[in-house]
Structure 1
Amino acid sequence: MKALPFTIYPACHTSRCKSSIFQKHSRSVDGLFQTGSGTHLGYEGYNLWGLQGAQQSARRHRDFEPWKILLIILGASIAAAIAIGLFVYFIHFPQDRKYDQRLTYFSGNFKIMGVQYNPALSRQSSDRFREAGNWIEKLMYETFHNSILRPKYRGSRLVKVSPDTGGVIAQVVLMFLFSSTDNTALRMAVDKILQERLKIYPGSARINLPSSTLTGKCLETWFPVALEQGCPTGRSGFTDMSKEMAEKLFSDFCGLRYNRSTVSPRITGGVEISGSGEWPWQASLMRNNIHRCGATLISNTWLVSAAHCFKDSSNPRLWTVSFGTYLTPSLLIRPVKTIIVHEKYRYPAHEYDIAVLQLAKRVEFTNAVHRVCLPDASERIPYNIDAVITGWGAMSDDGETPNVLQEATVKLIDSNTCNRKEVYNGAITPGMICAGYLEGGVDSCQGDSGGPLVTPDTRNMWYLVGIVSWGDECAKPNKPGVYTRVTYFRDWITKYTGL
């Protein structure tokens, strides 16, 4: 893979969300499912001005006017008060307090009136669920952003939507960063703020507070804070929850990236992944313990890849699937039970370049091994947005294969542009999508075949939009990468996997 550095966009309620996939295609239902963006306000700085005095003679003191003496006394009193306040602050809130912070989760069931349940709400990757998530997560953001808990609030996540009389029940997880110095009253303010703010919500969809419940749970998480002990004991409404239970809570979510590093070092021709779980759905297809192609995990037992990866052999007994950032040593290895190549694929043609694989033994989702989201067949993918390709492919044409997973950012290119004479001269069919740059320089390469082309939605859930398929060498001008279009084959994937 030949690549340039890639910057991950933040997930929630920022202006960067406007460029993400699906954002322009949300429907509005009486103001309920509206995509909105919040603004994180900065901190204001204050200049503290001191008063400088000088020794004066007794005669000069007698010449001072009364208002000047009063001003000096007032200034001195203010300076003394500020000094005392700073002293108390640093005594009670030491500088290492950030290492004492623990992420506290509140699980709430909110009764939303005036909303008709749709079966699509049962799937977290559906357009309906995404709209519901955007609406309620924006509502939670606005509720706590304008409260005393604003510095503590870390976000929310819609977990599940269930039908109920007169509306729906939305299960929502709220996240706060509390330290041991935060008293019980501050923690219990969560419920009070919700009660006060939500009952004055002006939208047509109403939250029935008497039918809503909120419980607090403290648990370890993937956030980069020190978490060596459990929750403080003796706090009403809080119970300890292990890291394993926390991961299980979010295991139902597709497309979540848990271990996102803040810095990835450049290596020759690409960006090296610095930690496990950066792209947890990425897998390696190995034959005779040698990396042959990439694949993408779409459930506990199923992966999707390119059909041309199996042109030499589709015997599942010859293949294994490896997970993790490194090819060797692998984090996890599974044998393959079934390989299904699209029935219309004919090598060396590029059409219908898709296959699905079933594992002989299921994988349990963790921070480092997790499934990607699959878009609906009807989803319209906008062009000229950022997408990410990952894999262990060569970093230059006919170059070496890296041992560490690589990533690169590319632009989705419309088919009309890609079919121009100087590009691919009409070779791009409806089942294909182009991604890269017409000026070249960034592309997938040998060994990346079958791997994922993904892009995030407004909630930072990552969707598989393409499968690395073919191209004219690597990173050449006017020769972007060509990928199998997932939405075109979405029904075919369902037919054989049930997903």
Structure 2
Amino acid sequence: MYTPVEFSEADYPQVKYQRRQQFWDPIRLALFTLAIAAIIGIAIGIVTHFVVEDDKSFYYLASFKVTNIKYKENYGIRTSREFIERSHQIERMMSTIFRWPSRGGRFIKSHVIKISPDEHGVNIFMVLIFRYPSTDSVERIKKTIERTLYQSLQTKRFPLTINESSFTLTHINSKNMRKLLTNRCGIRLTSSKMPLPAISSTERIAHGRETAMEGEWPWQVSLQLRGVGHQCGATLISSTWLLTAAHCFRRNKDPSQWIASFGATLAMPSVQRSVGKIIVYENYHTETNENDIALVQLTKLVEFSGSVQRVCLPDSSLKLPPNTSVFVTGFGSTVNNGPMQNILRQARVETISNDVCNRKDVYNGLITSGMLCAGFMEGKVDACQGDSGGPLVYSDHGTWYLVGIVSWGRSCGLPKKPGVYTRVTRYRDWIASKTGI
């Protein structure tokens, strides 16, 4: 258990400065007054500029044809590896085209919404997000975007060939943009509907930081027993299915006794749903923690929004190398055996190879192929009690994938005792067989 460090006045002694004799003649006083007036005038001008010329988000739906690739059936499945990889390639291309500021604006993000077949290749539908002064007009910005695209296509070489004549751009409002993006898994939106990049917090859930805003981890779920409260975390993988740890149901497997709560706080949830079905992995072993995975089906679907969103499930072939940055979230204790937290906490940890985790001085051979270690060998950053069942996620070009489920570990944040997670890729076929996802 960690105790806060207290500082006395002796640690921060006060510094005494010698007083200088003040000497103000009329000329110096006048110059000083003019300087102060000038500074105040500049400050007022700056404030006025930012009030009047405050930046605003502009959203556009773009569609165009790519003629040098052929359509694949899996492009129609948004969670397929083919769709995601092709989407990332197109989004990187858009970033290259629009990455430089243009006439006072800047490119923020792009997201592919749909890839459909065309006799000459494929049709691409995507959302483009920009920031421009609020005084700019929608049409003026549209012309700037189109001109930038055409100039880039004529002066640069790209791996994908866009048919310029097929390019169309339509302005959409934030509500329609949100509807389009919520059709994709693994997208995070802030309360202002802006996509969030990966954060870089290195603090632990135990002694870590609270989440910055609602919607930062929109797939996080709190599993609660009626009349008791939070027991475990879980992850939203569709509008009706959650993924969690099997050990959460050791004492109570009755679905009618469980509630799923969504949002960044326990006291004021965004959404709550009753549980209709609990499916624990058939070969779960309580003694060894093997196959610590379970599915939860809700009685009523949840509608996706900025604060409630599904994460992407990884392809079974995904392999993360050691030292890959991943993120764990939960409402669990901040110290070993401490109380639950009302506000969701987050931490960045790093993957650790099973070979290292199975060393005699670490977990001495207890880590199986269905487990994944993440944390730091020096300890401190870790999940803790109450985070069980929650998500360990990985970002690939802004799309988030569930790679682990908080399973077990020795205490919280001890050196050479990192967190152990259920390796989701190992159970991809089982998840599909039960849910169709």
TM range (shorter): 0.7 to 0.9
CA displacement, residues 216-248 of structure 1 (integer Å, 9 cap, x when unaligned): 21423xxxxxxxxxxxxxxxxxxxxxx3x3321
- Amino acid across the alignment from 2:82: R
Match of residue 463, structure 1, among 401, 405, 417 = 401
1:335 is the counterpart of 2:257:
no
Match of residue 440, structure 1, among 369, 379, 382 = 379
Match of residue 128, structure 1, among 75, 82, 101 = 82
Q: Give the deviation of 1:398 after TM superposition.
A: 1.1
1:271 is the counterpart of 2:209:
yes
Write the mapping of 1:37-436 to structure 2, written as runs, cut at 5 A: 94-99=49-54, 101-145=55-99, 148-149=102-103, 151-182=105-136, 184-203=139-158, 205-210=160-165, 212-220=166-174, 243=175, 245-259=176-190, 269-289=207-227, 290-436=229-375
| Aligned residue in 2 for 1:77 | none
- Amino acid across the alignment from 1:247: R
Q: Are the equivalent residues in 2 in contact too, given 1:398–1:446 (CA < 8 A)?
A: yes
Q: Give the deviation of 1:187 after TM superposition.
A: 3.4
Please give the TM-score of this superposition, normalised by the length of structure 2: 0.82
Identity among equivalent positions (%) equals 43
Q: Are the equivalent residues in 2 in contact too, given 1:147–1:193 (CA < 8 A)?
A: no
Q: Give the deviation of 1:151 after TM superposition.
A: 3.0
Aligned with 1:269: secondary structure? Answer: coil
Superposed CA RMSD in Å reads: 2.6
- Amino acid across the alignment from 2:289: H
- Amino acid across the alignment from 1:468: V
- Amino acid across the alignment from 1:497: T
How many residues are paired up? Answer: 386
Q: Are the equivalent residues in 2 in contact too, given 1:106–1:214 (CA < 8 A)?
A: no
| Aligned residue in 1 for 2:426 | 488
CA displacement, residues 253-278 of structure 1 (integer Å, 9 cap, x when unaligned): 21122125999999971211242212
Q: Give the deviation of 1:370 after TM superposition.
A: 0.7
CA displacement, residues 18-63 of structure 1 (integer Å, 9 cap, x when unaligned): xxxxxxxxxxxxxxxxxxxxxxxxxxxxxxxxxxxxxxxxxxxxxx
Aligned with 1:344: secondary structure? Answer: coil
In 2 relative to 1, CA 128–97 (structure 1 residues): closer, same or farther, beyond 3 Å? farther
- Amino acid across the alignment from 1:251: T
Q: Give the deviation of 1:201 after TM superposition.
A: 4.7
Q: Distance in 1 between matches of 2:240 and 2:421?
A: 23
Q: Are the equivalent residues in 1 in contact too, given 2:274–2:298 (CA < 8 A)?
A: yes
Q: Give the deviation of 1:148 after TM superposition.
A: 3.5
- Amino acid across the alignment from 2:185: C
- Amino acid across the alignment from 2:297: Q
Q: Distance in 1 between matches of 2:157 and 2:408?
A: 52
Q: Are the equivalent residues in 2 in contact too, given 1:388–1:453 (CA < 8 A)?
A: yes
Q: Distance in 2 between matches of 1:286 and 1:257?
A: 24
Q: Give the deviation of 1:127 after TM superposition.
A: 3.4
Q: Distance in 2 between matches of 1:257 and 1:315?
A: 32
Aligned with 2:356: secondary structure? Answer: helix
Aligned with 1:428: secondary structure? Answer: coil
Q: Distance in 2 between matches of 1:454 and 1:156?
A: 21
Q: Distance in 1 between matches of 2:250 and 2:279?
A: 12
Q: Give the deviation of 1:152 after TM superposition.
A: 3.2
Q: Are the equivalent residues in 2 in contact too, given 1:466–1:483 (CA < 8 A)?
A: yes
Q: Distance in 1 between matches of 2:61 and 2:419?
A: 43
Structure 2 runs not aligned, ≥5 long: 3-41, 191-195
In 2 relative to 1, CA 318–195 (structure 1 residues): closer, same or farther, beyond 3 Å? same
Q: Give the deviation of 1:203 after TM superposition.
A: 4.0
CA displacement, residues 92-128 of structure 1 (integer Å, 9 cap, x when unaligned): x9332343x3322221111111202223323344433
Q: Distance in 2 between matches of 1:328 and 1:110?
A: 46
Structure 1 runs not aligned, ≥5 long: 3-86, 221-242
- Amino acid across the alignment from 1:389: V
Q: Give the deviation of 1:199 after TM superposition.
A: 4.5
Q: Distance in 2 between matches of 1:313 and 1:164?
A: 53
Q: Give the deviation of 1:317 after TM superposition.
A: 0.7
Q: Give the deviation of 1:377 after TM superposition.
A: 0.7
Q: Distance in 2 between matches of 1:141 and 1:314?
A: 48
CA displacement, residues 301-320 of structure 1 (integer Å, 9 cap, x when unaligned): 00000001111121111111
Q: Distance in 1 between matches of 2:140 and 2:185?
A: 35
Q: Are the equivalent residues in 1 in contact too, given 2:394–2:403 (CA < 8 A)?
A: yes
Question: 156-165 or 303-312: which moved more?
Answer: 156-165
Q: Give the deviation of 1:185 after TM superposition.
A: 4.0
Question: 120-129 or 152-161: which moved more?
Answer: 120-129
Q: Distance in 2 between matches of 1:477 and 1:204?
A: 47
Q: Distance in 2 between matches of 1:170 and 1:201?
A: 20
Q: Distance in 1 between matches of 2:417 and 2:141?
A: 58
Q: Are the equivalent residues in 2 in contact too, given 1:103–1:218 (CA < 8 A)?
A: no
Q: Give the deviation of 1:196 after TM superposition.
A: 3.5
| Aligned residue in 2 for 1:473 | 411
In 2 relative to 1, CA 479–180 (structure 1 residues): closer, same or farther, beyond 3 Å? closer
In 2 relative to 1, CA 293–147 (structure 1 residues): closer, same or farther, beyond 3 Å? closer
Q: Are the equivalent residues in 2 in contact too, given 1:144–1:150 (CA < 8 A)?
A: no
| Aligned residue in 2 for 1:35 | none
Q: Which has the higher contact order (CA 8 A, sep 6+)?
A: 1
